Structure 1
Amino acid sequence: MKYAPSVGVKFHEDGSVRHFPGNTFICHVNPTLDLINELAWAQDQLKAMACGHKFAYLPISSMHMTVFEGVCDQVRLAEKWTSKLPLDAPIDQTTDFFASAIGSLGPHAGFEMVFDYVYNCPIGGTAIRIKPANEASAQALANSRNQLRDATGIEMPDFDSYHFHITLSYRVIELEEHEKEEVKATADAIAERLSTTFGLLKHGPVEFCTFDNMFKFTPLIKLS
């Protein structure tokens, strides 16, 4: 049995969530939206696959779109760390620093997003790619990310090519070829439905969050 890259990092071999602390800037999906039911339906389709047991599924309560990645305690690479603190700085120190640095940024909210496609990540799991619904939201997101980059001193290698998404699952066990075909067919079926049911997702304020693992993101500051 071959385990996926998420094992030993974000998940254990049995699919249970692993201690993986860090901080990040996200927009939670409003739990009162009908979209939450669609995301739950999409997860159910994945869970029902013959190879569904090879994935770990994020709780519906944690559904979110990452606006700007923070740092992770166990990922101490210069290109994924803040240039404003030492590479060995405690994670709590980075959290305190970011909280102070974003204090004067003002409101970052109201991004309008629509469905793009369903993506099966070669090193992750299944995610719903979403994109700005209009030029105003595209510009607002770009401005938000630029301001957060400047404030935090984090410049990820994929800053200019980053794709917004809502993660549904992480692969835990690597797939056989026929299982990859099943996942693709399931993703295609999910995409066919969401292309008509996703609607317009209007986000609330960007939330600066901490996390101990991939199952819960706790807001510290809302940029509203």
Structure 2
Amino acid sequence: MEAEYGLQIGVKFDLNGAPLKYPGNTVIADVRKGNPAYAVLDQTSSRLRQTDFSDCFIFLPEDSYHVTIIRGMNDQVRKPGFWPPKLPLDTPMDQVDDYFEAAAGPVSVPEGIRMKFVRLQINEDDVRVCVKPADTEQEQILKDYRSQVAHSLGFQLPGHNEYVYHITLAYLLKLPGAEYQQELHRIEESINSCLKGQDCFYLSRPYLAYYNDMMQFHPQRFPRT
């Protein structure tokens, strides 16, 4: 029986798990070594790497762990609702970056945001650890920032108000077969139990980031080709 591939195969990765070109911009907050949350993420990734179905996953580099604060524009998602109305749909990507930087750059960035772990989520797209603001004050700070950036960009992406903060650990190359579902369920339960017992953690200062694929995010702009 042929393997069923993950939903991002052919979009963000090829059939061999190599990254495909998927240029875009965003606002992210890194989770770096030294942050207590990093060790939790690393341990979670290690658990999945040690399974009998680890070949189902395309693991992301540990130094790429981050929480997406604002999803920006992506070169391959040029359609109404996902694109600023003031920006023509055929705008070259370097000019899209110009627009993004000019709109989002001046917005005051919140610092010292505290988050807490919620749960591990594995679906046909990816493996992610869902997180949320530590309290209502932190939630409002992030909500206000996201709203200001959206206003500056001139649009809100679908699901703006229901957005779930998360840290992506891997993408699905193929779906684990039926023979692995029981093991997968046990691992998810074990990891979720661990996540519930973790302390809140601080995010690093969010920043505008630019990417060409899902493996690396850059704080500095680079030439678009």
TM-score (norm 2): 0.91
Alignment partners' CA distance in 1, 2:34 and 2:47:
21
Superposition pairs for residues 1-224 of structure 1, below 5 Å? 1=2, 2-121=4-123, 123-196=124-197, 198-220=198-220
For the aligned residues, what is the CA RMSD? 1.6
In the TM superposition, what whole-angstrom CA distance separates every residue of 1:111-157 from its partner, at most 9, and x where no partner exists? 11001111123x31221111111111000010011011111123211
Alignment partners' CA distance in 2, 1:111 and 1:73:
30
The answer to whether the Cα contact below 8 Å between 2:32 and 2:63 also exists between their aligned partners in 1 is: no
Deviation at 1:52, TM superposition (A): 1.2
Alignment partners' CA distance in 2, 1:106 and 1:167:
26
Alignment partners' CA distance in 1, 2:18 and 2:216:
13
C-alpha spacing 1:132/1:218, structure 2 compared with 1 (3 Å): same
What is the SS of the residue equivalent to 2:45?
helix
The answer to whether the Cα contact below 8 Å between 1:126 and 1:170 also exists between their aligned partners in 2 is: yes
Deviation at 1:49, TM superposition (A): 1.5
Amino acid at match of 2:40: E
C-alpha spacing 1:105/1:12, structure 2 compared with 1 (3 Å): same
Alignment partners' CA distance in 2, 1:185 and 1:154:
41
**Identical aligned residues as a percent:** 28
The answer to whether the Cα contact below 8 Å between 2:25 and 2:100 also exists between their aligned partners in 1 is: no
Contiguous gaps of at least 5 residues in structure 2:
none
Deviation at 1:212, TM superposition (A): 1.0
What is the SS of the residue equivalent to 2:58?
strand
Deviation at 1:195, TM superposition (A): 2.1
In the TM superposition, what whole-angstrom CA distance separates every residue of 1:163-189 from its partner, at most 9, and x where no partner exists? 011111111112323333332321221
Deviation at 1:43, TM superposition (A): 0.5
What is the SS of the residue equivalent to 1:168?
strand
Query: For this pair of structures, how many residues does the alignment match?
Result: 219
Contiguous gaps of at least 5 residues in structure 1:
none
Structure 1 runs of 4+ aligned residues shifted over 6 Å read none
What is the SS of the residue equivalent to 1:35?
helix
Deviation at 1:92, TM superposition (A): 1.5
In the TM superposition, what whole-angstrom CA distance separates every residue of 1:88-117 from its partner, at most 9, and x where no partner exists? 111211111111112431232221100111
What is the SS of the residue equivalent to 1:145?
helix
Deviation at 1:80, TM superposition (A): 1.4
What is the SS of the residue equivalent to 2:191?
helix
The answer to whether the Cα contact below 8 Å between 1:116 and 1:131 also exists between their aligned partners in 2 is: yes
What is the SS of the residue equivalent to 2:5?
coil
The answer to whether the Cα contact below 8 Å between 1:120 and 1:184 also exists between their aligned partners in 2 is: no
